[in-house]
Structure 1
Amino acid sequence: MDSIGYVILYVSDLDVSIAFYRDVIGLPYKFTDAGYAEFGTDGTRFALYERRRAEWLTGQPVTPGPAAEIVLVVADVDAEAARIAASGATVLSGPADRPWGHRTVHLADPDGFVVELAQEIPRRRTRR
């Protein structure tokens, strides 16, 4: 295996999560069908699925994990952070320069998943 086809988050309220990723984050919304919503992202597909419907896929109740992070690459993290903070979204940290070559801001989505917006900047440390 050498590629990731989809990243799907199981969410508690599909409409609220669609609004967050479409209206706050700014991902291009594609469609909703039977508890599933997909966004127009390049490469790996990003989607949401109603958690209450996920049990038929997994055979057991599905709950969010204690930690999950979605990273979205942006051109200007400061502009995105200001726009998103003005929308009332929960900003967890940043913007801040990271030594691995990103300027980041961390947000919480409606289900508590961490969303990182990252802008590439020069690395301050090398890899070993």
Structure 2
Amino acid sequence: MRRLDYVIWYVASLERSVAFYRDVLGLGVRVEGDGYVEFDLENVKLALFDRAKLPELIGGREGRAPCGEIGFRVDDVDAEAARLRAAGVEILSGPVDRPWRERTLHVADPDGNVVEFAQRL
């Protein structure tokens, strides 16, 4: 579980942020759709997600809007969920099978940022 798979920044203006990363920093776009844009990098996924779509992903979180998400690739999401629950970690969603052929678990870090664990199906 020690492999960082991606970083996602939750942004107020997807259009403005994409313009910065694409046009100013020069990153190519690899995937785009439904409030999500992923850039073309070799070593890790870097993506932007429209903050307004967060309730669809992790539910309502009044007063605790996270600024970003990091994702870890794991072999067994259900085992991670059990381990994290036992440790008292706040589970936001999951484990759940996603349409993109991954089983995911979202948890909150102490500052309310999102950490995802994903298992390929």
Normalising by structure 2, we get a TM-score of: 0.49
Q: Which has the higher contact order (CA 8 A, sep 6+)?
A: 2
- Whose Rg is larger? 1
Normalising by structure 1, we get a TM-score of: 0.47
